[in-house]
Amino acid sequence: MLVSWQAKNIGWQPPTADWIPPGVPDARPAPAGWQFWVPNPILLAAATKTLTKKALVTMGVGAAMFLFGIIATIVDESMASSGGRFFVFTGLILVGLLRIIMGIVRLVRAPLMAKRSLSTFR
């Protein structure tokens, strides 16, 4: 039970110095300056690493989609060079570019999102 409570409340700090634990009627208030729970730098680094890895995967998948769309368009166009029709893989190219942009945004925001995930009030 304690572990699940800690997982739900990681990074949480009491709002005031006179905070009393809920459900403990005889508890005295916390002293001034006392922090019940402070962010753990090891957990912050792990969360940042996880979010960064997800961002890089998103960028990699987007780059693969983009390149595949460009290559498929070039190959199809070269096969139809004698005046035939060919496909432009616009959807694949655009979705690939969108995923690259999403990955860049996630990569830039990873440290902030990791910090927020460890310091939200619950």
What's the pLDDT tens digit per position in 2-31?
Answer: 556 666 666 666 556 666 677 777 877 767
The residue-averaged pLDDT of 64-71 equals 96
Name residue, tokens 């460009």: 70
* End-to-end alpha carbon distance in the chain: 16
68 and 19, same domain (yes or no):
no
115 and 99, same domain (yes or no):
yes
Least confident of 44-48, 53-57, 63-67, 101-105: 44-48
Tokens for 24, please give them. 């403990």
What CA–CA distance (Å, rounded) separates 55 from 58? 5
What CA–CA distance (Å, rounded) separates 47 from 120? 14
Range of the domain at 97: 40-122
What CA–CA distance (Å, rounded) separates 27 from 98? 54
What CA–CA distance (Å, rounded) separates 92 from 64? 10
Indicate the number of domains in the chain: 2
